[in-house]
Chains A and B, each alone.
Chain A
Amino acid sequence: MARVELQNVTKDWGTAKAVDDISLSLEQGEFAAVLGPSGCGKSTTLFMLAGIYMPTRGDILFDGARVNDVEARDRNVGIVFQSYALYPNMTVLQNILFPLRFKKVPKAEAEKSAREIAELVEISSLLDRKPSQLSGGQQQRVALARALIKKPNLLLLDEPLSNLDATLRLSMRMEIRRIQRELGVTTILVTHDQIEAMTMADRIICMNAGRIEQEGTPEALYTRPETVFAASFIGSPPINLLPGELTADGLRIGETLLATRGETNARSVKLGIRPEHVVANGHGIPAEIISAEALGRETLYTARSALGDTRFLEATSAPKYKAGEQVRLSFDAAHSILFDAERDRRLEGVSAHA
């Protein structure tokens, strides 16, 4: 199957809109992540693709054909659920074989491919166990095997890593990516974890309140966020967003006037600048350190200045400044992102620096 498309899809629950008029399309073999906070409609979108929910309006197309009314069982879609949803009464092998039951695959052949898939996800030694006897990571691998065995047109992953501990999450991230590459199956990952989305996906679809905020490569989302939401949701520690007024003279934030380049139509804006791009190197805007948090490899400071409270990072493991210390902050025009405060969109061709 070549393409999966959503066209102007809306899903209402009663009067509440879970998904509000979204359109997107995926090419064969692509790995896309739908990223957003909980309740933004990302899982609903996933379940509509699987055929578990029906869109209220709009179309879902597989290879250009409308599949809104096709039942989940006919769509040949593999899903890994957040809770893994393994059948508790069946062994691991029976779980993996379950989808083939309905495809009339001869028994010997079915078992052969089950063992191959088990090999691929590295659970060959667990085939006779019951799900309750497995660890979270093992259950996850079984769920993945069950989703893959039917050679799905589309693999859907619903927060698959959120129930795992931190180390396991790291290795499963790579595992899933490896398997997806090897099989070349079109995959959609739903997650609220930006690092998961950034590290695993070719393309990120950032959702908020049922709408798509922005889609693009991880790099594009990070360096050129289109909306204030996309800017603030992606990046850790979060981006500094400083409200100000754009005038003919420059960007006025509080009492301070920052130099600007480019368009100078007067309007309210928000200045976005990532913490790693703010430097405290002896010139620029005077500020007072109000907190210092050691993050391990680096230290996160919060400084109070005429611009407001600003976060910045220094690549030292031991704090260089103490609370109360005076510093001067500056940043480069290339790293500044300006948003129109009313339309909530990024302003092209304008930048500011200090």
Chain B
Amino acid sequence: MSASSSYRQATNFAVFLGPALVFLLALLVAPIIVDLVVAFTDMAQTVTINEFTTKQFGKLVHASDDSWLGFELRGTFYRALSLTAVFVFLTLTIFNVTFGLILALTTTALPDRLGAFFRAVWLLPRMAPSVVYALLWIWVVDPTERGLLNQLLVHGFGMAPVNMALNHPMALIVISNGFIGASMGMLILTSSIRSIPQHLFHAARADGAGSLSVIRHVVLPALRWPLSYITVFQTLALLVSFEYIFLLMGSSRSTMTMAMLAYTKTLAPGIGSGQYAYGAAITLILIVIGMVSALLLYRLTNMKALLAKPRIEVH
């Protein structure tokens, strides 16, 4: 009895959890460890390791007695770091959090069908394939008068044509990523708003609250945790995302964020130069930031609910 029970327990574990375990270990855990090792080697195009060294990090920072930290950032890395910070901060604050929240609030204030229509419109960029979406943007901001934006500016407002990619590269990648990013916040916050009991809205109305007071006293307090969750998660997503930036801007120096730097130095089609150890070193920094975010997520998680004990003991 006990032997067959523990046999069943083992096979259940293998059947239900085995596949997930294998995939997660092979393609998430193993790469993290590989990265940890490769970052301290000289691996390049031949994908072989000749020596273990910290010289990759030497490309990012150099020792300096003047700096109180004991080291200074090298130009390329300093540039990548600040571009990343600007890109993540602007996209996150303007679109992923603020605009996501505005969309969730406004669409839930409308009748259901109409609200759903506008949410569907804002999900369109996320659902369209990335290459198509990037292509659309390239055409829209085409510097000649063919571009949709310039047609509007020139014929609609009588202004001079602009070259977004050349003159406002940061605005371009912030807006193009933000149009996609806003929808995630919108979806999560919409379902959070929906899960607020209707009676609370009614009570607030009867107590004399107007729309803005209802938002402030009933809706926002209920969105506290989802908003923090979105902030942490989207920060991380923006930090590591390079697909749209690469498709839109190629290897342009004006938008070379950290993730872009790692990608273009290694695997980017056409221009990747196979400096795997260098890329791994930058990736390692991102991994460390990821670990910190994971700790933040820990605080945002209701561990009691997550770890609630199963109530059937038979296997």
Interface residues of A (CB under 8 A from B): 47, 50-52, 71-79, 81-83, 85, 87-90, 98-99, 101-103, 146, 150
Residue of A nearest to B208 (CB): A102
Q: Name 12 extra pairs, CB < 8 A, besides A72-B205, A83-B199, A87-B218.
A: A47-B202, A50-B202, A50-B206, A73-B206, A81-B203, A87-B203, A87-B217, A88-B222, A89-B221, A98-B217, A146-B207, A150-B208
Per the bound structure, the CA–CA distance linking A87 and B219 in Å amounts to: 10
Once the chains bind, are B208 and A73 in contact (CB under 8 Å)? yes
Q: 0/1 per residue, B137-168, Cβ < 8 Å to A?
A: 00000000000000000000000000000000
- Given A85-B197, A87-B218, do A98 and B207 touch, yes or no (CB 8 Å)? yes
Once the chains bind, are A73 and B207 in contact (CB under 8 Å)? yes
Specify which of A52, A82, A83 is in contact with B206 (CB 8 Å cutoff): A52
Q: 0/1 per residue, B182-206, Cβ < 8 Å to A?
A: 0000000000000001011011111
Specify which of B197, B199, B205, B218 is in contact with A73 (CB 8 Å cutoff): B205
Residue of B nearest to A152 (CB): B206
Once the chains bind, are B203 and A85 in contact (CB under 8 Å)? yes
**CB proximity to A under 8 Å, residues B3-46:** none
Once the chains bind, are B221 and A71 in contact (CB under 8 Å)? no
- Given A83-B197, A88-B221, A89-B221, do A102 and B202 touch, yes or no (CB 8 Å)? no
**CB proximity to A under 8 Å, residues B75-121:** none
- What A residues does B221 contact at CB under 8 A? 87-89
Q: 0/1 per residue, B201-227, Cβ < 8 Å to A?
A: 011111111100100011001100000
- What B residues does A52 contact at CB under 8 A? 202, 205-206
Once the chains bind, are B202 and A99 in contact (CB under 8 Å)? no
Once the chains bind, are A99 and B218 in contact (CB under 8 Å)? no
- What B residues does A81 contact at CB under 8 A? 199, 202-203
Nearest 8 interchain pairs by C-beta: A102-B208, A89-B221, A85-B199, A85-B203, A72-B205, A99-B207, A73-B208, A81-B199
Once the chains bind, are A72 and B202 in contact (CB under 8 Å)? yes
Interface residues of B (CB under 8 A from A): 197, 199-200, 202-210, 213, 217-218, 221-222
Specify which of A75, A76, A85, A103 is in contact with B202 (CB 8 Å cutoff): A85
Q: How many A-B pairs fall under 8 Å by CB?
A: 68
Residue of A nearest to B205 (CB): A72
Per the bound structure, the CA–CA distance linking A47 and B218 in Å amounts to: 19
- What B residues does A99 contact at CB under 8 A? 207-208
Residue of A nearest to B200 (CB): A85
Question: How many whole Å from B205's CB to the nearest CB in chain A?
Answer: 4
Specify which of B197, B199, B213 is in contact with A102 (CB 8 Å cutoff): B213
- What B residues does A83 contact at CB under 8 A? 197, 199
Per the bound structure, the CA–CA distance linking A52 and B204 in Å amounts to: 11
From B208, B209, B222, residue with most partner A Cβ within 10 Å: B208
Per the bound structure, the CA–CA distance linking A99 and B203 in Å amounts to: 10
Question: How many whole Å from B213's CB to the nearest CB in chain A?
Answer: 7
Question: How many whole Å from A286's CB to the nearest CB in chain B?
Answer: 55
Question: How many whole Å from A81's CB to the nearest CB in chain B?
Answer: 5
- What B residues does A150 contact at CB under 8 A? 207-208
- What B residues does A82 contact at CB under 8 A? 199
- Given A85-B200, A87-B218, do A103 and B208 touch, yes or no (CB 8 Å)? yes
Question: How many whole Å from B209's CB to the nearest CB in chain A?
Answer: 6
Per the bound structure, the CA–CA distance linking A52 and B214 in Å amounts to: 14
Question: How many whole Å from B135's CB to the nearest CB in chain A?
Answer: 44
Question: How many whole Å from B111's CB to the nearest CB in chain A?
Answer: 13
- What A residues does B203 contact at CB under 8 A? 79, 81, 85, 87, 146
Question: How many whole Å from A21's CB to the nearest CB in chain B?
Answer: 24
Question: How many whole Å from A157's CB to the nearest CB in chain B?
Answer: 12
Per the bound structure, the CA–CA distance linking A98 and B206 in Å amounts to: 11
- What A residues does B222 contact at CB under 8 A? 88-89
Question: How many whole Å from A88's CB to the nearest CB in chain B?
Answer: 7
Per the bound structure, the CA–CA distance linking A61 and B149 in Å amounts to: 55
Once the chains bind, are A87 and B200 in contact (CB under 8 Å)? yes
Question: How many whole Å from A18's CB to the nearest CB in chain B?
Answer: 16
Once the chains bind, are A73 and B202 in contact (CB under 8 Å)? no
- What B residues does A101 contact at CB under 8 A? 208-209, 213
Per the bound structure, the CA–CA distance linking A343 and B222 in Å amounts to: 52
Once the chains bind, are B206 and A72 in contact (CB under 8 Å)? yes
